[in-house]
Amino acid sequence: MAVISLAQAINQALREEMRRDDRVIVMGEDVGRRGGVFLCTEGLYEEFGPDRVIDTPLAESAIVGVALGMAIYGLRPVAEIQFADFIYGGFDQIVSNIAKIRYRSGGQFSAPLVIRAPYGGGVKGGLHHSQSPEAYFIHTAGLKVVIPSTPYDAKGLLISAIRDEDPVIFFEPKRIYRSVKGEVPEGDYTVPIGVSRLVREGSDVSLITYGAMVYECEAAAEKAEKEGISVEVLDLRSLLPFDGEAIIKTVRKTGRPIIVHEAPKICGFGAEIAAFIAEREILSLQSPIIRVAGYDTPFPLVHEHLYLPNERRILDAIKRAVSF
């Protein structure tokens, strides 16, 4: 099996799905000739032409709003927002129109579309090229929210997202676009939306995470292991709907849940997971529910490696949990 990067896996998913299904079209800023600023759409313009790989004017609200019109027609648009930080320009369309079209129309119309965007920090992008805005969308009924962390999942989840009958916000951890490589089968397979991946088994502490943080968690888990603490790592993959069962299972097992994400802490997705656990599994808890998250400031250009949760901070949380 070929070993490819996360960005290449995205590219492969798009290419194969476009070959299989002529309803699938790709649109966004610089997705055509330029192949996307991260080259996720490289080669698609050459293979499928300008009618299916559409370079758009610079207008995020129209990109997603137009995608909705195409989806209502019966196409399967995959709209790219160049950086997740610019998705707010299309926020009104996403939250008020796309997320609600099925509900608004009494089920007569729906929005089978995907909005892809690179997200997260670690690329020296500063304030507006580093954000993790997933919580805004998880709070919005009618959407699905997916974040892959491996090339295999990226391809399988993106294909699922394209085939899904509802709108999927698909955030890609840009920091690991190239650095993370893995085996990806050619051809058709899917990874189901809503199901997490157990990255690593353990019995003392559960790290519940997603995106690029999976790797920080794995590193911290390994360090902890050396100090005799057994750490389980759960990669959620889907944030809405999230895999409640798997969360409960790991909490029952270890009693010490720690949630790790890049986004700011207050009202981040970690809050939901913590609340979910605190509502259902309080008797399983052996420690407080700890969140290791981005700080509640805008995303800084300098010292971003200190802003982002890292091995050290996660390890510290692990130790606090076991010594509670």
Partner 1 sequence: MQMSIVGCVMGAFQIISLDGSADEEHLPELSTSQMLKMYRDMVLARRLDSWLMRLQRMGRVAIHAPSEGQEAAMVGSAHTLESEDWVFPSYREIPVYIARGVPISEILNRQFCNEEDPLHGHDMAVYGSRRHKIVPAPVPVGMQIPTAVGFAMAAKYRGEKAVAITYFGDGATSKGDFHEALNFAGVFKAPVVFFCQNNQYAISCPFSRQTATKTIAEKAVAYGFEGVWVDGNDVLACYSATKRAIEKARRGEGPTLIEAFTYRLGPHTTADDPSRYREHAEVEKWRERDPIARFKRFLIRRGLWSEEDDAKLHEEIEEDIKLEIEKAERKRPLKPDVIFADVYESEPWHLAEERDEFSRFI
Span 39-78, contacts to ligand TPP by CB under 6 A? 58, 60
**Closer residue to partner 1 (CB): 4 or 25:** 25
Cβ count near 324 (within 10 Å): 12
Is residue 34 within the footprint of a second copy (CB under 8 A)? no
Query: Is 129 among the residues known to form the active site?
Result: yes
Q: Which does 323 bind (CB under 5 to 8 A by kind): a second copy, partner 1, ligand TPP, none?
A: none
The DSSP code sequence of 131-178 is: ---HHHHHTSTT-EEE---SHHHHHHHHHHHHH-SS-EEEEEEGGGTT
Q: How far is the CB of 197 from partner 1 (least distance, A)?
A: 18
Q: How far is the CB of 244 from partner 1 (least distance, A)?
A: 6
Is residue 149 within the footprint of ligand TPP (CB under 6 A)? no
Name the catalytic one among 128, 129, 303, 305. 129
Dihedral over Cα of 263, 174, 138, 249: its sign: negative
Q: Which does 55 bind (CB under 5 to 8 A by kind): ligand TPP, partner 1, a second copy, none?
A: partner 1
Give the tokens for residue 262.
Answer: 């890049």
**Closer residue to a second copy (CB): 85 or 164:** 85
Dihedral over Cα of 268, 246, 151, 79: its sign: negative
Is residue 29 within the footprint of ligand TPP (CB under 6 A)? yes
Q: 3-class SS at 301?
A: coil
**Closer residue to ligand TPP (CB): 82 or 110:** 82
Pairing of strands 181-184, 53-55: unpaired
d(CA 147, CA 157): 9
Is residue 76 within the footprint of a second copy (CB under 8 A)? no
Chain-centre distance of CA 112, in angstroms?
18
Interface stretch with a second copy, choices 40-48, 99-107, 110-118, 216-224 (CB under 8 A): 99-107
Is residue 130 within the footprint of ligand TPP (CB under 6 A)? no
- The tally of CA atoms less than 13 A away on the side-chain side of residue 136 is 17
Q: Which positions are annotated as active-site residues? A: 129
